[in-house]
DNA sequence: TCCAGTAATGAATAGCATTCATTATTCGTG
DNA sequence: CACGAATAATGAATGCTATTCATTACTGGA
């Protein structure tokens, strides 16, 4: 029979407890993934019993949602501070692409959660987390729509489809980063995506050729004028 | 005590048994998804015991892989028959995009498996199924590379990135089809993607218009000079 | 100090993939 | 046809985890 004198620490506030749980969940999920990261692990890391987690969260899924929500919130904050300072729709679009690539390549564990586990939709109850990638898509779509209105972008483009292509492309790049592990060359990829989106892949030989012949003709004319 | 006279059906061949199991798995997975579709359900549908499945497959995951492999194989067969008959790199690219959209929109259950469950990678052992989407990407990349070589496409485009953008875009469209259920307008989406990939989104209205008027003016000047 | 009300606990529950000792069937051979 | 290894099928038992809930521990006001 041992009598132990423990300094009784007061219970943490509701907010502190939630923060502790979410942080432990983040650590465990990032390290092991959603499936393999168990509630027992998270509880152990947070220094509490499993049951306690269920007082604050609907379940494992809800916990993941909150982890992801906080991750995206930080990115959104950053973006909202930076975006307005950038001039030009094309440049802002380019910044958004680059920002996502940075987020992907700077946190492999989170990248795994996003590419692997965010997708687990439940047709009955769409979760908050599902709309997070979509939010970034909305930011991009806003730029494109504004660009169309101003005439910088063609009026026949579908902003939604273009955003899907950018967002989907970024996701595939993230996914292949997760599976093959090769580092992402952020600037190179940013350039490739931006260039493709803005200019497409078709060569405009016809235009170039007609311009070239025009130049030739003007040069000849100029020569004649000189000699006259 | 009942004496029942059952016509003893001979055991099916290994191949038949595998086909039965895979077909039952396809039905169950398509109806319930990978997580919720249980081995018991599949065994019941196939009219066998759960244990039997494990004689033929590594486990639930391996079973899904085979279901997906067969689904993709059918598409590949179809594509390989059709593709060579189409003239022009841009047109073949367009066909591939349309073919994938058709596959997506014609089979919602399978679409769910692809967008939701195919992604469950295990960093330790990459599965066959993971490379299936990639295969289609390779077909597209081939067209793009050939198009670059022939001068139809700009030489500074990155085929891999463009394929990621097309493939990723298609996946996002599939995903949003799964979550919001709205039917996909195959032709409209095919057009939007093709147009974006080929021509980009930047309007060259201003440039074209100003160049055109410049050309006109220069031509008039040149004519006047010539006649002088 | 006491006592509702609130929070935390962790053993019990439940669901499901996977295993494996047991039973049934097949088929080559005497 | 009969026998008996070899092969296939079975389904109860196992193990793992998320989730629940009766019980216990704390807290803050009267």
- Contact between B119 and A119 under an 8 Å Cβ cutoff? The reply is yes
In a domain, B166, yes or no: yes
Give the tokens for residue A48: 């509490």
Task: State pLDDT tens for residues A186-219.
Answer: 999 999 999 999 987 776 655 555 666 666 666 6
Q: Are residues B113 and B180 in the same domain?
A: yes
Same domain, B73 and B27: no
Is A108 a domain residue?
A: yes
B105 and B27 part of one domain: no
> Residue A172 sits in a domain of what CATH number?
1.10.357.10
Residue B3's pLDDT is 37
Q: How much is the pLDDT for A127? A: 66
Same domain flag for A147 and A44: no
Between A123, A162, A189, which is nearest B201 by CB? A162
Are residue B39 and residue B152 in the same domain, yes or no?
no
- Min Cα distance A72 → chain B (Å) is 19
CATH of the domain at B41: 1.10.10.60
Same domain, B86 and B38: no
Mean pLDDT of chain A: 87
**CA nearest neighbour of B110 among B166, B26, B191, B45:** B26
- For residue B215, name the pLDDT band (cuts at 50, 70, 90): low
Question: Which residue of B88, B151, B165, B198 to mutate against A (max A Cβ within 10 Å)?
Answer: B165
Q: Are residues A131 and A170 in the same domain?
A: yes
Work out the pLDDT band at A3, boundaries 50, 70, 90.
very low
Residue A146 exposure: Cα atoms within 13 Å on the Cβ side: 13
Residues A128 and A168 in one domain: yes
Are the C-beta atoms of B165 and B198 separated by less than 8 Å?
A: no
Long-range Cβ contacts of B86-91 (<8 Å, 24+ apart) = B88/B152, B89/B143, B89/B144, B89/B146, B89/B147, B89/B150, B89/B152, B89/B153, B90/A202, B90/B147, B90/B152, B90/B194, B90/B198
| pLDDT (tens digit per residue) in B31-73 | 999 999 999 999 999 999 999 999 999 999 999 999 999 999 9
Say which residue, B9 or A114, is predicted with more confidence.
A114
A208-212, B4-8, B55-59, B122-126: which has the minimum mean pLDDT? B4-8
Same domain, A45 and A111: no
Q: Within 7 Å: CB of B59 and strand C? A: yes
Is A1 part of any domain?
Answer: no
Q: In the structure, how far is the CA atom of residue B14 from the C1' atom of nucleotide D17, in angstroms?
A: 35
Total count of domains within chain A: 2
Q: Is residue B221 part of a domain?
A: no
Indicate if the pLDDT at residue A221 is higher than 80.
Answer: no
Residues B26 and B98 placed together within one structural domain of the fold:
no
Judge whether B165 lies within some domain.
Answer: yes
Question: What residues does B161 pair with on adjacent strands?
Answer: none
What is the predicted pLDDT for the residue at B4?
42
Q: Provide, rounded to the nearest whole percent, the portion of chain A with pLDDT above 70.
A: 82
Percentage of chain B modeled with pLDDT above 90: 67
Q: Which of B168, B176, B195 shows the shortest C-beta gap to A171?
A: B168
Please write the tens of the pLDDT for every residue from B69-119: 999 999 999 999 999 999 999 999 999 999 999 999 999 999 999 999 998
Q: Which structural domain range is residue A34 located in?
A: 12-57
Examine the domain organization and report whether B35 and B85 are in the same domain: no
Q: Which of B175, B178, B201 sits opposite A154 (nearest CB)?
A: B201
The reply to whether residue B156 touches residue A119, judged by beta carbons under 8 angstroms, is no
My answer on whether B47 and B87 are in the same domain is no
- Look at residue A6 in the predicted model and tell me its pLDDT: 46
């Amino acid at each position: 029979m041992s009598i132990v004198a423990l300094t009784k620490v007061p219970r943490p506030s509701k907010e502190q407890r939630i923060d502790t749980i979410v942080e432990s969940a983040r650590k465990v999920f990032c390290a092991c993934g959603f499936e393999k990261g168990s509630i027992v692990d998270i509880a152990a890391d947070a220094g509490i019993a499993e049951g306690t987690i269920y007082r604050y969260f609907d379940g494992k899924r809800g916990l993941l949602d909150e982890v992801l929500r906080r991750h995206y919130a930080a990115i959104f904050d950053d973006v909202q501070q930076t975006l307005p300072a950038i001039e030009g729709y094309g440049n802002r679009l380019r910044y958004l692409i680059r920002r996502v690539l940075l987020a992907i390549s700077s946190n492999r564990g989170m990248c795994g959660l996003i590419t692997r586990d965010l997708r687990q939709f439940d047709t009955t109850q769409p979760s908050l987390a599902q709309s997070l990638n979509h939010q970034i898509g909305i930011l991009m779509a806003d730029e494109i729509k504004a660009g169309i209105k101003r005439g910088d972008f063609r009026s026949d483009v579908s902003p939604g489809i273009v955003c899907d292509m950018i967002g989907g492309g970024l996701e595939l790049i993230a996914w292949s980063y997760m599976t093959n592990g090769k580092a992402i060359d952020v600037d190179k990829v940013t350039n490739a995506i931006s260039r493709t989106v803005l200019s497409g892949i078709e060569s405009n030989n016809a235009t170039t050729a007609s311009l070239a012949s025009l130049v030739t003709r003007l040069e000849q004319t100029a020569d004649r004028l000189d000699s006259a």
